[in-house]
């Protein structure tokens, strides 16, 4: 597999996005849906549009586009508390596109140290569904080492890294496509945190 590179850090929706250290325009808001677009327009090709809850990511002329959900409630949660990471897609997946990307704090200092990548190429049920939590064949990679899986599936990841947490509120989970192609993304679920017994 090709190495998945840390190519995007989502900071704050009001501030905008960074790709490879290059600041982008603010995300394209859609007031009727929590699903939000980002892309490289107008400086870089690649577009995202949303209609009726379905995002179309068009990278026919490159290089990237994606979506995120406003108001994620996962910040600071341990990986074992993450209850849902899933989306539907159409189009042919590549090694890294489309993929869900989750910021992680690996050392407990409250900052994002790396990102977990959950690619449709390595996590799908054959019917266009990526379900990282419930699909036992869903391989998880860490962007800092996209060559070697950090978890053969979500349960394996949680067992091997019980202290890792989702990154802080300024770093949002997102879905990105950064290869040439076109995809749709829908039914995006990032969260909710699992309930704790007695609460």
In a domain, 198, yes or no: no
The model's pLDDT over 66-122, given as tens digits with 9 standing for 90+, comes to 999 877 788 999 999 999 999 999 999 998 899 999 999 999 999 999 999 999 999
Q: What is the pLDDT of residue 192?
A: 65
In a domain, 67, yes or no: yes
pTM: 0.82
Count of structural domains within the chain: 1
Burial bucket for residue 1 (CB in 10 Å: 0-12, 13-18, 19+): middle
In a domain, 184, yes or no: yes
In a domain, 19, yes or no: yes
* Full residue range of the structural domain in which residue 90 is found: 8-190
In a domain, 195, yes or no: no
CA 7, 54, 70 angle in degrees (round to 5)?
60
The residue count for the chain: 199
């Amino acid at each position: 597999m090709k190495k998945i590179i840390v190519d995007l850090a989502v900071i704050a929706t009001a501030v905008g996005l960074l790709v490879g250290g290059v600041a982008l325009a603010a995300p394209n808001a859609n007031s009727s849906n929590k699903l939000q677009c980002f892309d490289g327009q107008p400086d870089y090709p690649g577009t995202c549009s949303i209609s009726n809850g379905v995002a179309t990511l068009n990278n026919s002329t490159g290089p990237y586009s994606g979506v995120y959900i406003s108001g994620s409630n996962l910040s600071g949660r341990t990986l074992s508390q993450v209850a849902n990471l899933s989306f539907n897609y159409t189009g042919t997946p590549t090694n890294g596109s489309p993929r869900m990307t989750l910021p992680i704090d690996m050392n407990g200092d409250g900052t994002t140290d790396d990102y977990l990548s959950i690619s449709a190429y390595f996590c799908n049920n054959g019917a266009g569904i990526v379900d990282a939590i419930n699909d036992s064949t869903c391989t998880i990679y860490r962007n800092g080492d996209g060559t070697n899986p950090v978890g053969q599936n979500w349960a394996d990841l949680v067992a091997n890294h019980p202290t890792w947490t989702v990154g802080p509120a300024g770093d949002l989970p997102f879905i990105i496509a950064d290869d040439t192609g076109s995809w749709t993304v829908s039914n995006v679920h990032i969260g909710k945190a699992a309930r704790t017994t007695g609460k």
